[in-house]
Amino acid sequence: MSKQRNSTPVVLEISALGFEGGAIAKKDDLVYFVKGAVPGDKVNAIITRKKKNYREAFTKEILEFSPDRVEPKCEHFGVCGGCKWQQLRYDKQLFWKKQHVIDAFERIAKVEYGEMLDAMESPQIFNYRNKMEFSFGWSRWVTDEEIANNEEIPHKDFGLGLHIPGRFDKILDVNKCHIQLDSANEILDLCRNKALELGVPAYNQRSHEGFLRNLMIRSTLAHTEIMALLITNHPSNEAEQAYIDWFVNDLIKVAPQITNLATAINATKSPVTIDNLTFFHGNDYIREQILGVEYQISATSFFQTNSYQLDRFIGEIIKYAGDISDKVLWDLYCGTGSITLPAAKKCKEIYGIELVESSIIDAKANAARNGIDNVDFYCADLHLKDTPELLEKLPKPDVIIIDPPRAGMHKNLIPHILQANAKTIVYVSCNPATQARDCELLSEKYEVKKVQPVDMFPHTYHVESIALLERKDG
């Protein structure tokens, strides 16, 4: 259901896209952030929020269509918050992602750079996600179309899909998600239909009652494996136990694409806590490859979600490190070693540091599995003031690879990076604003030679960015 306001529409010409994906227009010395529009559109917009220097609005009517508009492929577009740019031509998505990186360096952090490359396009822009987490909900979102049809609305008290943006208690019933595999959509549909057939209740986020909570589907490109994980409350009646029995014993008969199948319990108020993870079919991991290195991915571990772009993305990071055949590398915020291990195959030695202990355990296991012995992993918080106690014990690096979370590096780490005095820094980021900020903090010793935006998430405003920094004294 769209948000309405008692307001006179204002005519706006959309000129840009903002970093968080919203369209931008300027009129009468005000900036307007407009939902539902793309650059080149002329729209009637309804103002939803007024501030001193800007307004927030949504598109009520498109008066003139932008030449950059395309018909969204997904029936849920505009309601689901996932693919906000699906109505924009893909080449223009890449243009604006590059522009957001430029703006971060030039306007936000005011950092000089040598070369800004075009955004690296994804080889596949649909069916690319290798992991989706769907929620069961007791209160299904009723769409404008369903209301307009003036017919009885089916199963309003049950939905399986994605949360409506800003609403923890409302679930959009997703018929088909175009950014995951078609075979995963079949699993989604089967699980929904069986729950409706048995009358099994979804979890109620307000009363904290109900049974079905989440369905996670993971897949891999290298080995064409699919993992299905069902998360529920404890079963309390025959129907709920029957659903578990069906999922464990019968789902794989009608969905033979599933190679790994598991259940888990979440009886808490937290949406992320799980216990009693049990696999009934296949291993407790699936396998993926990056540049010839095989990774085992457990049900809950982090792994980049666009398998089609992985080799190019990681390959570009290692290429930026230069000739590392006789070099010592540090990989900070190394995770499970997705950059560390492919780099290890080309360098003298490399040291990976990560806060999350489970990731370090996985990284060490992946190194052993691939026979890579010139790498050491350490579990440590890089943001603490005593960070040098670890870094000072390591051999001095020739190259530092940095891939921090969205918040970027902590100010405590910056002096230790400068003190390490590596010739080259390769800074990888999912947030150009904090990347540019950190590059400015490193600018007393380093200059940014070039920046490569990378599209890992087509149809969204998210962009990865690789920055090459070289020490000024060479």
Residue with tokens 């049974």: 211
Q: Is 21 helix (H, G, I), strand (E, B) or coil?
A: coil
Closest C-alpha among 132, 260, 261 to residue 188: 132
Give the strands of the sheet with 446-454, arranged side by side.
113-116, 446-454, 464-471, 424-429, 399-402, 328-332, 349-354, 375-379
Residue with tokens 């800074």: 427
Residue 177 bears catalytic tag:
no
DSSP state of 369: H
What's the CA gap between 75 and 174, in Å, rounded?
A: 9
Dihedral-angle region of residue 78 (phi above 0 means left; psi in -120 to 50 means alpha; beta otherwise): left
Single out the catalytic residue among 80, 177, 430, 439: 430
Q: Which residues contact 296 (CB under 8 A, 6 or more apart)?
A: 285, 286, 287, 362, 365, 366, 369
Tokens for 234? 């404890």
Using a 10 angstrom Cβ sphere, with 0-12 exposed, 13-18 middle and 19 or more buried, the burial of residue 203 is: buried
What's the CA gap between 449 and 219, in Å, rounded?
A: 37
What's the CA gap between 240 and 244, in Å, rounded?
A: 7
For the CA atoms of 74, 76, 77, 82, the dihedral, rounded to the nearest 10 degrees, stands at -100
Element (H, E) at 232: strand 226-232
What residues act catalytically?
430
